[in-house]
Structure 1
Amino acid sequence: MTRRAVCPGSFDPVTNGHLDIIERAAGLFDEVVVATGTNVSKSRMFAPEERLEILRQAVAPFPNVSVAGFEGLIVDFCREIGAVAIVKGLRGATDYEYELPMAQMNAHLTGVETVFLPGAVANAFVSSSLIKEVAAFGGDISAFVPDFVAERIRARFD
């Protein structure tokens, strides 16, 4: 039986912190699906198709990782693809307090468990929002995102 997990997120943009969690999840599960919501009503730097394209390039080094878009509840997507777990990275206590009620609701709704992985210390302060803010003011984001992502972000502010 294939043990499939989902790593959900907006990934706008994908960061090295995200990739750390995805790589570690790939070592724990037979297959990992990186899933990004495609809600077009939300304002994002990158459109849904762009985020999927960027994610595919970012996870290409991991042979058991694929990328998919989804709409609606993540647990419904998990049920559709037969995932047994949702993998979430935690940077600290605030993330845990935010994620725990969702994990409990997801388990209640479908029985899909949530696996929390602590983020690497080097990435503890990095968020997609912070990356966009720093980039908007011309700051150097190259240590926090893959090079090709940094180039795409810089192109948005040029």
Structure 2
Amino acid sequence: MKKILLFIALTLSMLSCKDETKTAETKIQDVKEEIAYASIGMEINDADALTSERMMVHYKNMKAGDTVPTKIKGKIIEVCSKKGCWMTLDMDGENEVMVKFKDYGFFMPLDAEGDVVVNGKAFVTETPVDELRHYAEDAGKSKEEIEAITEPKLEYRFEADGVLLKTE
């Protein structure tokens, strides 16, 4: 009987030694989606760019004459149809930002559309009637729409030194 118990104990101990528990190592890789951009103006990247909604919080706390150096993401509403010297970005569905390019050093493609990242300085200004009419004319507005502009407008503006235009 002792031999049988000894045999069983040895067999169990040998089986328990051979029983290797295998742990599967799962490697999780950070997959960062690369977004393709066309760079216009100064070379910039999209790191640390504020969303347009987040930038509107800053704009609403600014008064005419204030400036904030920043980088924002936005969606193009319109580009100057004559030479691409300005564009407007949708900020939150209700507000838009007029973007001009530093020292007219570069221009947007006339058919530009979609998402962009702009780097530069944000500011608030009061735009006079004659300038508002000029922009309306550049945008191809009708004569009636241009003549309907009779008061200056407090506007959110941006002077960009670099733009990233998302490509498909």
What is the TM-score with the length of structure 2 in the denominator? Answer: 0.22
TM-score, normalised by the number of residues in structure 1: 0.23
Greater share of helix? 1
